[in-house]
Structure 1
């Protein structure tokens, strides 16, 4: 049996020097072709070809999925990353289930916070929104996302902007609002479309004709293995996330040492009117491990996302593992299996865990 992968990543960039109002022009195409040849004793050969071509005009760079044709025209070009609270007093959150994809990153106290990425999807009620952390710009810089936060430690936001990431802090407008049913700082919410309007009015830069993909998407799972119906991700002694396969998705559970619940409980979201609640879910889970360090300027715990580190990907009960690589925060992550072959991530909703090397990742069939 012979197996070949050809990965072509064509990147043409034209940048105009200037301030945050500059627009970078990028035409990105990713084509993945997998060819499997099966040779029998009678010398007959059968070939099955699976080809995936990323088209920025017709596919989501945050999921790799095709978008409906009626959305091809006049769709947004700018990714917006909202920093979402995950303190016990912030749960259940709202709007996470509507994000295109989500990053989850370790913060102080052994807890995590989210970056909810929005491009094609929208939410009228997203939150609670919290403050920025040093790791945030390093993972959203490749696709020129604008970061939306409640604020940050003194000096951090100017540092984030110096890295080329526009930042929108809490604004006094209908786009961002405080709710009375929760206490500050766990009560800032947003309408993503109204926030997009505020950002557009400020002229922040973004990529044309659209953002770079998170990473190479594709359908090849030749070297993936079965046995990943339950995934456990231990960030720290205080936070453990558990994903359980439910149909073609994984449902999310959490063990929070700050909670009175000592066992895993369903991590739900809730609607604005409070009349609807359900468990958070995703189709694919990507785990990126990096070195834990203290940011010099803020002393906040941060995770290194440049260099090389361990990688785990889960989708529909299957998994693969290997390494991630990149040399600069402006570059997208590259994924390789244990044989140094490029890994394709199935087009699907993505929940991306940024976990310290000290964290623990395990999985099982049950």
Structure 2
């Protein structure tokens, strides 16, 4: 193990210890995040949250937010472009709920279309622009920012704001809803014939870069971000059996950040090209999602369903050329 890996591993363990201490303190003192959803409401999650539904969490992904916590337990991790060419993650949980997830960040308009495929998903996020809130209210999601579920969130005082807000999923859902809640349209099974032997695949955004390197020993794609190995505070190196690079239309939305940068809208309804990475091979496929309430299907060149390796799936939305 090289010096950089030892340093990052030590940093990850240190962050985990600090976060655990912060969580313990928060349980005694309560959460004082200073952020809500713009409505000023301080209410506990209602009884409807106990229905079987996935939990989706918006997760920060700039350098100051790393290493993240709880990503290893997600069933699906979506990557989308945000302002300034950066990327942000949407982690979806159904089969397992980690003790802590984060850092949690704000929602975007694209999230509502993406999450419409699930039955009343619970969306955890740090907040949203005031003019986006009515769209969230009208959507199919159960919005659970700090203002509606303050006891579910805690800040880690050893990280800088705004990269220090964490969620305790058990405060939003009593248990994991189970695999049946994953209405993504994904097909799992043995690898199809064909594909190209691929050792590594990189995906670039204007201001972010991901690299997936196949590990024959781990049977996973090892994940790197911006040239460094991606790790978590609670599970070591990030890795996934299946990675999907999905070409979509990315257009301007009606929203901007405080610097005036337009918020990209990622269209996940439609059809187009995709590349699926599994078992050290790359498959060129077609994707289709006819309407927002549908999951996304992937088919090989001969029209058969593209099967994924069992386990976590990463889906990276990239701008179609």
Identify the TM-score tier after normalising by the shorter chain.
0.7 to 0.9
SS at match of 2:294: coil
SS at match of 2:115: helix
CA offsets per residue over residues 115-145 of structure 1, 9 Å max, x none? 1111221212211000001211222211122
The reply to whether residue 325 of structure 1 matches residue 288 of structure 2 is yes
Q: Which runs of 4+ in 1 moved over 6 A?
A: none
Among 130, 136, 150, the alignment partner of 2:111 is: 136
| Equivalent in the alignment of 1:162 | 138
| Equivalent in the alignment of 2:254 | 296
User: Over aligned residue pairs, what C-alpha RMSD do you find?
Assistant: 2.6
The reply to whether residue 148 of structure 1 matches residue 130 of structure 2 is no
Q: Distance in 2 between matches of 1:178 and 1:120?
A: 26
CA shift in 2, pair 1:327/1:90, >3 Å: same
The reply to whether residue 96 of structure 1 matches residue 49 of structure 2 is no
| Equivalent in the alignment of 2:61 | 86
Q: Distance in 2 between matches of 1:266 and 1:343?
A: 28
Structure 1 gap segments, 5+ residues each: 1-20, 24-74, 201-206, 256-263, 272-276, 359-366
The reply to whether residue 174 of structure 1 matches residue 132 of structure 2 is no
| Equivalent in the alignment of 2:222 | 251
Among 216, 228, 232, the alignment partner of 2:202 is: 232
Q: Distance in 2 between matches of 1:97 and 1:188?
A: 18
CA offsets per residue over residues 51-100 of structure 1, 9 Å max, x none? xxxxxxxxxxxxxxxxxxxxxxxx97210000000011111111111222
Q: Distance in 1 between matches of 2:66 and 2:80?
A: 16
Q: Distance in 2 between matches of 1:312 and 1:161?
A: 34
- Larger helix proportion of the pair: 2
What is the TM-score normalised by the length of structure 2? 0.76
- Shift of residue 341, structure 1, vs aligned partner: 3.1
Q: Distance in 2 between matches of 1:308 and 1:173?
A: 39
**Which has the bigger relative contact order, CA under 8 A and spacing at least 6?**
2
What is the TM-score normalised by the length of structure 1? 0.67
> How many residue pairs end up in the alignment?
266
Among 306, 331, 345, the alignment partner of 2:308 is: 345
| Equivalent in the alignment of 1:77 | 52
Among 238, 241, 248, the alignment partner of 2:210 is: 241
- Shift of residue 232, structure 1, vs aligned partner: 0.9
- Shift of residue 150, structure 1, vs aligned partner: 0.3
Q: Distance in 1 between matches of 2:285 and 2:118?
A: 23
Which structure has the greater CA radius of gyration?
A: 1
